[in-house]
Amino acid sequence: MDPRSPWLDPDTANPRLELSEDLKSVSRLVFARDLPDNPERFDKDPCVLGQERFTVGRHYWEVEVGNREAWNLGVCLESLDRKGRIPKSPEHGLWAIEFYKQELRALTFPRKRLHPSEPLRRVGIFLDCEAGNISFYNRDDGSHIYTFSGVSFSGPLRPFFCLWVLDPSPLTICSVSRETGEVAGPLQVSELPQEASVTPIIKSSIILKGQGPSLDDAHVLLTPIQPSSLEGKQPSPKSQLDHILV
C-alpha cells in the first residue's frame, strides 16, 4: 500500500478555484480568474484534479473537508470530459461521494444516500487498482463510508475534487506518512456494510507507523464477503481483523 499526499494540478483547476502555493489546498472564489482555457481545465464545474496518475497498485490519501457545506471527493478517469457540465457517475468515469445540503451520497445512478456514524471532517480514500475497488472512510472515527467495487478501469485514474457553493472553507490534502505516524490511530471497519460486496480493512497504526509485519504482508486488504457468511449473523469487525492480522 502506498500512502499518498497528492498535489493539485493547476492546469485542471476551474477559474473559480484558488489553489494554495504548496498545491495542497483549494478554495472557492467569488469571481473567476482570468486563466487560459486549455484542454485540461474544467471550464464550467468548480473542479480540480490531483497531479498523480494511477494505473496499478494500492494507494491511500486523506482530505480535510472541515465544515465545508458542499464537496465531491473521489477518483476519475484521466479522460473525463472537462468542458461543460460533467455527468457525475461511474458510467461517465467518475467514482466519488458528495456532501450537499447536509446529506452524504455516493454518486451512483440513482444516487445512494449514506449515513456516516459521525460527522465528516477528514475523509480517507483507498484505491486498489488490481481489485477494482475505491473505498471511503471517516478518518476521525475509522468507520467505513462506502466502496465502489469490481470497477473496470479503461485508463489512468486521478484524484478528483469539486467545491460546490460559495464557502470560504477549503479542501486540504493531508500529509500521510509511514514514518512519522502523522495519521496514527485506528482506521478499521466499525460496521460491516451489508450492501457492499467487499469489506475494506485498514489498520493505520500498523500501516503508517511501521509496527508489526511489513506492508508487503498486505495489511490493507479488500476481503470478499461470501453470501453464506451473512446468513443468520454478521461477522464482527474484530474477528475479521484478527483473521487478517494473524
pLDDT digits (tens, 9 = 90+) for 213-226: 232 333 333 333 33
Residue numbers of the domain that contains 108: 10-174
| Cβ atoms of 243 and 236 closer than 8 Å | no
**In-domain check, residue 183:** no
Q: Answer yes or no: is 151 within a domain.
A: yes
Please say if the pLDDT value at position 212 is more than 80: no
Q: For residue range 145-172, what is the model confidence (pLDDT) as tens digits?
A: 999 999 998 899 999 999 999 999 999 9
**Domain assignment present for 129:** yes
Report the CATH number at residue 73. Answer: 2.60.120.920
Domain membership of residue 152 (yes or no) is yes
pTM for this predicted structure: 0.75
**DSSP characters over 49-110:** EBS--BSSSEEEEEEE-TT-S-EEEEEEETT---SSS---SGGGTEEEEEEETTEEEE--SS
Confirm if 128 and 222 have CB atoms less than 8 A apart: yes
188 found inside a domain:
no
Q: What is the percentage of the chain residues whose pLDDT exceeds 70?
A: 71
Sign of CA dihedral 95, 50, 71, 33: negative
User: What total of structural domains would you count in the chain?
Assistant: 1
Strand partners, 25: 172
Helix (H) / strand (E) element for 2: namely strand 2-3
DSSP character for 230?
Answer: G
Q: Is residue 46 part of a domain?
A: yes
Is 146 inside any structural domain?
Answer: yes
The span from the CA of 197 to the CA of 21, in Å, is 40
* Per-residue model confidence (pLDDT) at position 1: 67
Q: List alpha helices for the chain, DSSP H.
A: 204-207, 237-245
* CA count, 13 A, side-chain hemisphere, 104: 19
Task: Take residue 137 and report the three cell numbers written for it.
Answer: 472512510
Q: Is the pLDDT of residue 91 over 60?
A: yes
Contact 63, 174 (CB under 8 A): yes
CA pair distance 144, 189, nearest whole angstrom: 5
Residue 201 lies in a domain: no
pLDDT of amino acid 5? 87
